[in-house]
Structures are given as structure tokens and as C-alpha cells.
Amino acid sequence: MNELLTGLRAAVGAGNVLTEGDLSAWELDWRKRSRGKALAVVRPGSTAEVAAVVRLCAGAGVPMVPQGGNTGLVVGGIPDESGREIVLSLARMNRVRAVDRDNLAMTVDAGCVLQNLQQAAEDAGLLFPLSLAAEGSCTIGGNLATNAGGTQVVRYGNTRELCLGLEVVTAQGEVWDGLTGLRKDNTGYDLRDLFIGSEGTLGVITGATMKLYPLPAVTLTAWACVPSMEAAVTLLGLAHRHLGAGLTGFEVMGQFALGLVARHFKQLRVPLYEAGPYCVLLENSDQESEEHARGQFERLLETALADGCVADAVVAENIAQARQLWHIRESIPLAQAEEGLNIKHDISLPVSRIPAFCTETDALLQREIAGVRLVNFGHLGDGNLHYNVQAPEGGDMHAFLRQQEDRVNTLVYDQVKRFDGSISAEHGIGALKVGKLPQYKSDVAIRMMQALKKALDPKNLLNPGRVVPPG
């Protein structure tokens, strides 16, 4: 391996090949539940350097783990414990290469932090709508590799829908330049879509051309208490009818989830959460005026109150109030972490089936595991729930995870399958769920995935053991 390390130092500079000291920033996963051991952390600064690193590792038969901001939640971006894998960090590749205002597009390096993309678009008088809780740390390459979702999918779609083209280094160290700004290109297989959502198992994303949008004239936020999940779905339908394309966010939050925020972050005043089992956060972005947008919201909420699907509601009076409401929503995962270890589920379901799923699965878990607590929140507008399970209050959290995690996952995933859903909506598969995938994806789909992996990465050197179950 000394020969490989010497070659890597020559390719990217000795200071960018890390083998000693504290490497936890690259070896420890975001949830701090898994830690691997890297042969080295390699930090190329350009696409040419990435290609050189891949060629060297391929020649030596050394596996590589592409990594962006290391904010993933499914153990998909850290090395295993063997000490044989290279962490290929794209963090130094952080340039905004170009902004094309007329084409409403922006070309960037894969290591650009999401928040910096948002700011670059805003500086050009435009909008890049991808928005995640980790946007100050996650990178666009990781967002694309996991097909990240976020809070505005209901209007703009997942990261896949926001991407026009990619630049990718293949498992053989070749560079595919697909950085097109075209909305239409019907010249064969869409290679871009192979790599989006592949979690670094088919190629290394080094650059991307992303869609931009006009900035809305005004954005308003409302918070509503609803008497049931059925009422939340009814409100979503009303919001689609009253707001149309202006509906850019629709989040649902269970009473217990908001109660955790109130308990652990007392400085945050959580509105209306004690008045009903769920609250909803709505966002309306309008191209006309605040008066028009506020009028839309008022008519929507008047109809919802009259129909009984909303018990009470408030509309933010200014940007500061709107940010406070969103901050409450984004604090739920942090509050849950303060409460203790938990079992996370990132699931998607047809919106129409979410109320029945929640009713049946809540009852199932509470019947099977006495005292279990359910932290249910997420992006109801696109059918994505973060349906998390907290240990019984006062119990041994570590023992709960050891004894119950696999059982809880099976109970929840079986229900998801029964309701025609997916066990991963926006977090990906990684190593955490790869063992479960054959139970919830068809044999035909698994074989096609294996065939793609073998065709593009025949030596199984790109992020091995992730996403694709072994054949």
C-alpha cells in the first residue's frame, strides 16, 4: 500500500492524503452510531485529480468511498472497519463554476455546500429551491448521490428534478462530461439518472448543472392545528386548490414531536401544539404581491375552519415570525436526539393512505412494545414521513436499541409494504438498509440493480456494500 499512498500524494499533494491523527470527521457517521477505519482520506481539488485517484485505486484494487459533507443518515459515506478503503472527500471541490441567468441554470463543483448554492443563486436574483436542515454542511454532490428531498419537494421536486446535467468520474477513472444545460435531450439512455440516487456506487459525481427559478415576490408561512391526520390530508387538498403552484411547503408534526421541542428548547414558543394531535406548517410563495398571497391564505384557512379540518391557525406577520416557525419544525430531530437514542424511519406512502397507515401502525407498535413513543413528522405534501420510534420513558435506551431495533424496523417496513410505500424516501439505502432491501424490493428490480453495478463497476470498488445487495 505504500506505493499507492506515494502515488496518491503525487496526484493530489502530500497535504491532501491524510493517514494519521484524528480522522473522525471522515470516519464517524452523522448520527455518531457507526465508525469505520480508512486506509487514507484523500482530498482531490479538481475533476482531473479525482480521475487520477480513481485510476490509482483501481489499479491497486483498493475500494473507495466518495464523501461530501458526511451528513448522511444511512451509513453510506464512511469507510468500513477493515482499514482497506480510501475515503474520497470532494470537500475541496467547492467552486460555483458559472451562473447562466438566461438559461436559469448554474454549474457547480460537487463539493459546494448547499447553502452556498442558495446564496449564489440569490446573488444573481434567482432561486435554487433545494432546502434541507443540513444545508449549512451538506454538499450538492451528496444531495445528488442520495437524491435528497427537503421541504420544497411538493413544488420543485427532489434533487433529481432540479438537475440538468452531471460530470462523473467512472470506476475506471474516465471522465463523462454530461454538464448540459438542456431541458430536452432525447439521444438515448439518460445516463444522468443512473448516477443520481446511486450513492457513489456507480461513479463519482464531480460537477453538476442545476436548475434555477425566478425569486418569488413574497413568501408567507402559516401554522395550523388539525384534529387528525385525515384532517391534515384534507387541508393539503384544499391548499392545492387554493394556492396551486404557490404551495411550496406542507409539513406535518405530531403532538409528541412538538412536545419534545417545547421540553428541550424552552426558548422556542411552540404554537397550538397542545390543542390537537397534529400541527401543519404551510408555505405559500407568490409572484404577485403580499396582499394577494395573504388573501389566498385567508380564504384557504377560512374554508378549512368552516370544514372542520383546522381547529385553529396563525399566519406569520413577518419574515422573523416565519423563520421562527420553520426553526421549530427543524428543531424536532435535535429535540429527539436530546431525548435519547431512537429508531429512525424515512418512509414514503401515497398521501391518501397515510392516515390509515398511521392509525394502524401506531396501534401495532404500542401493542407490541409497551410504552413505546412515536415521533411522527415530515413532508406530508409529498408523502414522506419521518416515522421515528423513541424508547419508553425512563428505560435503558441502549438496551432498547439492541433488543428492539430490528423488530421495530420489520414491523414498520412490513406496514409500509402493505400500504404500497417505500422504506426510503430521501435518505437512501447506504449500509444501514441494504440487508433489508431484498425483502421490500422485487427480485427483478434487485437483479437489474446488480447488473448495472457489475457493468459500471465490475471490480466492486466504488462504495462496496452499499445500496446494492450482493448477488
Quick: pLDDT tens for 322-378: 999 999 999 999 999 999 889 999 999 999 999 999 999 999 999 999 999 999 999
Quick: pLDDT tens for 279-304: 999 999 988 888 888 888 899 999 99
Question: Residue 427 falls within a domain, yes or no?
Answer: no
CATH number of domain containing 209: 3.30.465.10
Question: Residue 19 falls within a domain, yes or no?
Answer: yes
Give pLDDT, residue 107.
98
Quick: pLDDT tens for 20-69: 999 999 999 998 889 999 999 999 999 999 999 999 999 999 999 999 99
Q: How many helices (H) and strands (E) does the chain have?
A: 16, 19
Q: How confident is the model at residue 3 (pLDDT cuts 50, 70, 90)?
A: very high
Q: Is the domain of 7 the same as that of 48?
A: yes
Q: Is the domain of 74 the same as that of 104?
A: no
Question: Residue 71 falls within a domain, yes or no?
Answer: yes
Q: Is the domain of 310 the same as that of 223?
A: yes
Q: Is the domain of 202 the same as that of 227?
A: no
CA distance 470 to 153: 32
Give the N- to C-terminal CA distance of the chain in Å, as an integer.
Answer: 28
Percentage with pLDDT > 70 across the chain: 100
Q: Mean pLDDT, to the nearest integer, of 117-134?
A: 95
Question: Residue 138 falls within a domain, yes or no?
Answer: yes
Quick: pLDDT tens for 362-383: 999 999 999 999 999 999 999 9
Half-sphere exposure for 105 (CA within 13 Å, toward CB): 15
Number of domains in the chain: 3
Give pLDDT, residue 395.
85
Residues 6+ apart with CB under 8 A from 354: 229, 233, 380, 383, 385
Name the domain boundary from 333, 361, 384: 333
Domain membership of residue 175 as a residue range: 96-214
String of DSSP letters for 249-317: EEEEEEHHHHHHHHHH-TTS---SGGGSSEEEEEEEEESS-HHHHHHHHHHHHHHHHHHTS-SEEEE-S
Predicted TM-score (pTM) of the model is: 0.94
Q: Is the domain of 236 the same as that of 313?
A: yes
The amino acid present at 49, given as its one-letter code, is: E
Q: Would the pLDDT of 204 be above 90? A: yes
CATH number of domain containing 297: 3.30.70.2190
User: How far from 436 is each of 24, 143, 421, 424, 427, CA to CA, in Å?
Assistant: 27, 23, 14, 11, 15
- Higher-pLDDT residue of 261, 394: 261
Q: Is the domain of 154 the same as that of 230?
A: no
Q: How many residues are listed for the chain in this entry?
A: 471
Question: Residue 406 falls within a domain, yes or no?
Answer: no
Name the domain boundary from 214, 236, 262: 214
Average pLDDT for the chain: 95
Q: Is the domain of 41 the same as that of 117?
A: no
Name the domain boundary from 176, 195, 214: 214
Give pLDDT, residue 122.
97
Question: Residue 373 falls within a domain, yes or no?
Answer: no
